[in-house]
Amino acid sequence: MTGRGKRHTAYRRGHSAEYFAALALMLKGFRIVERRYRTRLGEIDLIARRGDLVLIVEVKARRTIEQAMDAITGTTARRIESAADLWLARQPDYAKLSLRFDMVAVLPWRWPVHVPAVFLT
């Protein structure tokens, strides 16, 4: 498979993983307010909200939960935090919101695994 084909396959896999992650969060009572929120500082896969709790969610499609956890590096965390700061600043009720940085691991043939507070700010 060419480089272009691999990128396309990875892109489709990412979209599919984000769909299943969003579905899992919605079944937990969260409302998805943003998907693939992009800024010049970084990208957030999903932003979900339930009441005043806002989840900044990184979605990882990997073979194991350990591989998914290892895929979130310090650089990744800083980029996500920067993008989250920009998103939060644009919210009219930002002062009363609680932010949490979570991960949803999408594993083969399993329901997505929601890992709360995967990294702290």
Q: Where are the domains of the chain?
A: 3-115
Taking the model in full, what pTM does it have? 0.90
Confidence of residue 87 (pLDDT cuts 50, 70, 90): very high
Long-range Cβ contact pairs of 69-78 (< 8 A, separation 24 or more): 69/103, 69/105, 69/115, 69/118, 72/103, 72/118, 72/119, 77/101, 77/119, 78/42
Return the CATH class of domain 3-115.
alpha beta
- Give the DSSP letter of residue 95: G
pLDDT tens-digit profile of 20-46?
999 999 999 999 999 999 999 989 999
Task: Assess whether pLDDT exceeds 70 at residue 1.
Answer: no
Higher per-residue confidence, 120 vs 88: 88
